[in-house]
Each structure stands twice: as C-alpha cells, then as structure tokens.
Amino acid sequence: MRLCTVFFLAFLILSLSGQSQKKYTVVIHGGAGIMSKERINEAARSEYKAKLNEALEVGNKMLAEGATATDVVVKVINIMEDSPLFNAGKGAVFTHEGVNELDASIMEGKTLNAGAVAGVRDIKNPINAARAVMEHSEHVMLSGPGASQFAKEQGLEIVPNTYFYTESRYQSLQQLLKKERERTGKDNTGTVGCVVLDSYGNLCAGTSTGGMTNKRYGRIGDSPVIGAGTYANNNTCAVSCTGHGEYYIRLGFARDISAMMEYKNLDLQTACREEINKLTNLGGTGGVIGVDKQGNIAMEFNTSGMFRGYLKSSGEKEIAIFEDE
C-alpha cells in the first residue's frame, strides 16, 4: 500500500511539474486607430475576430506542442500577413507612387538577437525575411533591393508587387491623391504584431507592416526599428507596437517600456500605460501589446480601438476591437 502511495505521489509531482513547464502566453495585435461600431459593421467585426482567433489558436497549438517563441511569432504573423484585412503583407497600403513597400522586425529575449527588413516590395512574408536576417546574417537590418536579394538567397518566397494589391487600399490612396479626403489615423495604422512567452521561459516579439498610406521618399516607420516598434528581453518583456511610427521612433517606445521595468521596477502594464501617456503628450496615436517573463500581458492604446487578443496556457483568452470591450 505504501509503495502504491509513493508511486502515486511521484506521478502527481511529475504531472504538476510538466504542467508548470507548459506555462505560456501569446498576445497579438492587428492595428490601432480611430474605429467605431458604425464604420465597422457586425459582419466585418466577425471577420476580423475570426482571423485573430485563428492566429491565436495556431499559436496556442504550437506552444502546447513545445514550439519556441520565435517559431510561434513568425507563424502567427504569417497568418495576418496573408490576410487582406490587415496592413501587412497581402493587405499592405500603397505608397505615393502606387506600390507596396513593407517592413518587419523580430527580436529574441534570451539572446537579444534581432533582425529586420525595410522598404521591400517582393517578399511575400517580410517577417520571415526579418528572421532570416537575424539568424543567417551578421546584420540587424537590411533594406530595399539588398534585402530582397538576401531573401532570394535564403530561399524565401518572392512575389510580384501586384500580389499585395487590394482594391480598398488602392482606393484609399486615390482619395488622398485627389484630395477627396484628409489624412486620418487610419492611414497610419493597421500594423500586425505578436509577442510570446514560451514554455521554456523565453520571450520573442515581432512586427510587420505596410506602413503609411501615401508615404513618400522611401519612408520607414517604427516597425523595423529595434527598440522603437519591437523589443524583447527575457529579463523584462516582449513588446510590439502599432501606430504613427514617427512618434514611436522619437520615443524609443518599445525599449523605453523595458527600461522602465528594469530601472524603475514598474510592472508591465504600468510601464505600457506610462509610455502611452508619453505618446499622447507628444501628439501621437497608437497602441502596444506586451508580455513579461511571468506571462502577464498588456494591451494598451490611446485610440478608440485596437484589434487585439491574447491566449494563455491556463485557457484564459480574450479577443477585442473597441475600447469598451
């Protein structure tokens, strides 16, 4: 009887230990901006939430099976890059010249390794190219034709620029060019991002975007800038941003959140809120998602909405769009 009890206790301890090792969290965003339930009807809201849910569930399945944070960040962002709903990959906005130029970055919290691409026109999934830069080059950021050449040499999928075309994005550009409307916050947002704490205790953050409608002169925003739009450090947090990139660059937004946690001992949510306050005071708009080394999450923004969601190994889950959800 005692022997059976010992075996049972040993089994219970091993089971509980296995469960604790499986602790993980995935958080995503699909852009922040001026949103209203009148402008985004119920059918559209359902479509957005379904895609966010698909991304979260894929990430959840991978993490439950022991995938690394980096693998999950890339795969989850791929799902959003391949959807015309978001301003990344397939749904990217148009430049002043009527083409699509994309940016992306990724960073690992364990090693502080990072990779980014900027101003690329023919890489189907820019986040994959950012990862390739991180893992297979001596550099952190590659841009334009050079980034495309590197991506080709790495065997990544190359597509014609017309692949990224969507009619709604094209019409948004035409309206701005014809001055049929003024620029709005919607023209600066729609970026996608993912932050992950995996079951090994490692953090990773990634961000991908088409940038700003009607951008000119090879403009680059915060998304491919490590420390501005993306940052990860196992000692603090993983962060991905979305919004008017010029302001995020000026603030060193993503790194500043980590620094406040490191030097001021702030918790993740407080640090994110303080940084959003800095953004607001500077005149910028947007949002941020984050996860810390304990799996705590933050989804903060100063606009009326942000496409967002998270899922934890405990089963806790949320998908939302508007501020009041």
Any idea what the Cα angle at residue 111 is, between residues 105 and 117, rounded to 5°? 15
Instruction: Examine the residue annotation and report whether 111 is marked as an active-site residue of this protein.
Output: no
- Tell me the DSSP string of 17-76: HHHHHT--EEEEEEEEE---TTTS-HHHHHHHHHHHHHHHHHHHHHHHTT--HHHHHHHH
Structure tokens at 170: 């094209």
Calculate the alpha carbon distances from 83 to 51, 116, 155, 314, 322 in Å: 8, 21, 22, 28, 20
Inter-residue contact 257 to 269 (CB < 8 Å): no
Is-contact 143 119, C-beta < 8 A? yes
Which one from 68, 95, 189, 191 is the annotated catalytic residue? Answer: 191
Q: Which phi and psi (to 5°) does residue 169 adopt?
A: -65, -40
Which residues have a catalytic role annotated? 191
